[in-house]
A and B are shown apart, each in its own frame.
Chain A
Amino acid sequence: MATVTKTIGTSSRDYSTITAWEADLDSSAMMGGIYSTGDDAVGECYNDSTFDEQVTIDGGGSVGLSSVKLTAPASERHNGTANSGVKIEYTGSTANSFIIKRSQCTVEWLELDMSSSGSSCNVGVSFGNYSASDAYLRNCIIHDLVTKTNHLHGIYVWGYGAASGSRYITNNIIYNIDSSSTTKEAKGITVSSSNADVYLYNNTVYYVKTTTFGKEAYCFHIDDTSATLRNNIGARAIASSAFYQKDFHGSQWWNCDHDYNMSTDGQATAGNYGAGTNGVADVDYDDQFLSTSSGTEDLHLKAGADAIDMGVDLGTSPTNVNIDIDGRDRDAQSDMWDIGADQYVVSGASGGGAFPTVESVGEIAITSLTSTPSIPYPATVNNGDLLIVIASFGEGNYQTDITEPTGFTKLYAEPGGMTTTHHAVFLKKADGTESGNAEVTLSYSGSPSTSKGTMQIYRITGWSGTIADIEYALSTGSDDSPNPPTLAMTSGVAKNLWITVVHSYNDDESVSAYPATYSNGFNLAHGEGSNASTRTASCRREKETDTENPPTFTLSGSENYSVSTIGIRPAEDSGGIPIALFLIGMST
């Protein structure tokens, strides 16, 4: 009685197809084969290439296997979206693309792309007659089952007439079950009648569609009272009339045990009552997911989704119900359970941790501008540090562009009052070899020496390490109170560092007061009194939030300016908080 694991894939594995592995489950060790009575057979699929096969798992009976599992090792699993891990893209026409047809059987971590299947292939995964007990389908993605010759079912649980049984469908994502232009119905998950216990936990079903009048489009179709549903999302069922489009329905939906499920757009059977006492109903589908765009669907929850924290804690039973579509262990992380297959996590956040740290800020005033102004790098720059260069130049030289220092990425550039650019912010994830100066290149008309410049450079540690995490908001004006704009970080609440920058230009006004809640202001002016002057001021604060609206700066007089709010996320284990910088630039 051993666990016998075999690898499956096209790059030097034990089997090159899932079918061959399954066909060998009755290979008896007594006959020179593989398995003995009581063994647990495990097939591990590898993402060497796409599998193209109809799979039926019903083997191992003659040997007397204790259990059969088809899975993907951690390195080969999808990330909750298509084309990211082990994929089966069946191109044939057998009705059921994948059949679980034995008890003590687990199928997990697979993507079933149905987009290339033949016209008779109308079911993604089917629980067959003999999968009575301890049959699991979990953490799979089933999608793009479109217009076949029969009714569509992402998952179909056959009734087999037995009085007892246990089938578990947990943490799966199913989308685009579309029976347009046919007389057939479309269902995300169907539990047919005459079933024993079927448990549907934490599944997400999105976009189930029919077009012919009278043809049902149900995300969850429940025809048996023995079904139990918790924490499922049914979203955007579409039919010719509201009567036939239901996120949750079926002849026994009212009588089965269901609660903590979520439906969208008024499509639970009858609002909250139909969804269950603790259900969430009538939410807008476009507020829930990252992407529903065809070809790049991503049904992870977006920040602010109604499903967040609204599920019931199911603990660790049935096995692995606590593991979400990304492999996050809700139980081990002590999460408040979300509804659906995804457990929302503020990226970079896991609670506790620290804010990004400003290690140094350097400033330089440039009195005689050239086409390549520069600022010295900090004395210490380590691999992975974040470097921010803020460059501001007076308007007198009429710059048309500011090109970033080598290795930097432009966060933004702000045109001045004469539609030329004279203020920009650049970012770099340092490699530790930086020395000398960070040099920008100006394109200009006229003589640059008639204008002035200021530059600042921040060195920051404890940030997320990903430039794309840094966000900003920018506005312009002409008065004596630059008001940094509100910045809402798309990544959600975290221990962010917020920096605000004001760049004023034209005359010689100074910053007389920083935003009230901000500190560590830097304000090195360089001006000449009129038209060629510039000033850059920046300051910062730490705040654990996803949205920041800094108070205003105060200038000594009315001036043209641009003002920004920059958010910097903390390192992965730091509670996901950004730092904000505010910059004001002024020039003359």
Chain B
Amino acid sequence: MEVLIKTSSVSDDQTQYQDGDIVSALSDQRIAEMHAQEICNYRKVPFTVSGYRQNKPLVVNYLQETSLYRFERYGLNSKQVRRINLITAEQEILSDTPNSKGEYIHVQEFIKRRLLSRYCNIFGAIGHEFWFGGSRPNPDLSAIWNSIETHSDNLWEDNKTWPFTETEKRHFLPLRCCGGHHGEEEVVSSEEAIERTTSIFKVEEDEDNPTLLAKRKWFIPYWDLSSELSIDVDMVRNMSLIVDARDAHHPSHLEDTNKDKITEGIVSI
């Protein structure tokens, strides 16, 4: 997991970012997904003379692995579309007449309208169009990257860090973290990474309107970890300098470095 740490505060109000707050946290899975999305972005695929996206295996395989549905049209004047659930392989026929769930599609006008968009995401040929939709939970990263490495020069091994920008390296502190204590290196799940960026709310009578107590629940007191992180605190806080602590030999451990403001007594509910 990689994190971005706030390195300054404008006040001691916990509803604003504080020095050391974890602003962003990106799991290894999230990093791999992001690079795959960039490499396989359908917008990079040229059009056919008829205005469809060319059927490039790099992109189509990616969509096949990450989408919930594939849609296929029957024939030029057909009003029917086949929807294939890519997890269960279940197939349904959609048309301009609502089905039992009230779903319909006016496919000729639908496709025509899509083709007018410069970001058309429809593949195939006239009368035999196909496209993808819906998000598949927990896509198979191995299958995705196997396809990417087969159909391009990109290697997963070369895409394992988050592209923090120069501005972020000047204004924040990028760190690499792993699970477990010193001597262990456990992978941090995406759920745990996301949890590191949560706020602290107090839910009162109106459950739709909770009160914010702290902008971030978790922080890393990097000023106490300069040796472990191989950083100079003054350099970290100097916005004219680029500092990237991910270059340290060993990632910091969540249990050793991440602090919960509630547990630490900084915020009370």
**Residues of chain A having any CB pair with chain B under 8 Å:** 6, 10-17, 19-20, 23-24, 26-28, 31-33, 47-50, 52-54, 56, 58-59, 62, 79, 81-85, 89, 91-95, 113, 115-116, 122-123, 150-151, 153, 156, 158, 190, 192, 207, 236, 285-286, 290-296, 298, 300, 302-303, 347-348, 409-412, 429, 431, 466-469, 471-472, 490-491
Contacts and interface: CB of A to CB of B under 8 A. Distances in A.
A290 B109 contact: yes
Contacts of B94: 293
Interface in B197-238: 197-199, 201, 207-210, 215, 238
B23 A19 contact: yes
16 contacts: A11-B38, A12-B165, A15-B165, A16-B168, A24-B167, A32-B240, A49-B38, A50-B37, A53-B24, A79-B117, A92-B195, A286-B97, A293-B94, A302-B106, A466-B112, A469-B112
Nearest to B168: A20
Nearest to B238: A32
A79 B119 contact: yes
9 shortest A-B CB distances, which residue pairs? A295-B133, A49-B37, A295-B134, A295-B69, A92-B194, A291-B105, A62-B10, A293-B103, A79-B117
B155 to A, nearest CB: 18
Interface residues of B, number: 84
A378 B23 CA distance: 66
Given A23-B6, A286-B98, A290-B105, A33 B171 contact: yes
A296 B105 contact: yes
Nearest to B194: A92
Interface stretch (B75-83, B143-151, B179-187): B75-83
A16 B165 contact: yes
Given A23-B6, A50-B37, A113-B135, A295 B112 contact: no
B109 A31 contact: no
Contact of A16 (B49, B77, B162): B162
Contact of A150 (B103, B110, B172, B207): B207
Given A10-B34, A11-B163, A467-B50, A490 B106 contact: yes
Nearest to A13: B165
> Do most interface residues of chain A lie in helix, strand or loop, or is the interface mixed?
loop
B202 to A, nearest CB: 12
B218 to A, nearest CB: 13
Nearest to B203: A95
A290 to B, nearest CB: 5
B141 to A, nearest CB: 14
Interface in B129-183: 131-135, 137, 162-165, 167-168, 171-172
Given A47-B41, A151-B208, A490-B109, A296 B50 contact: no
Contacts of B209: 158, 192
Nearest to B10: A62
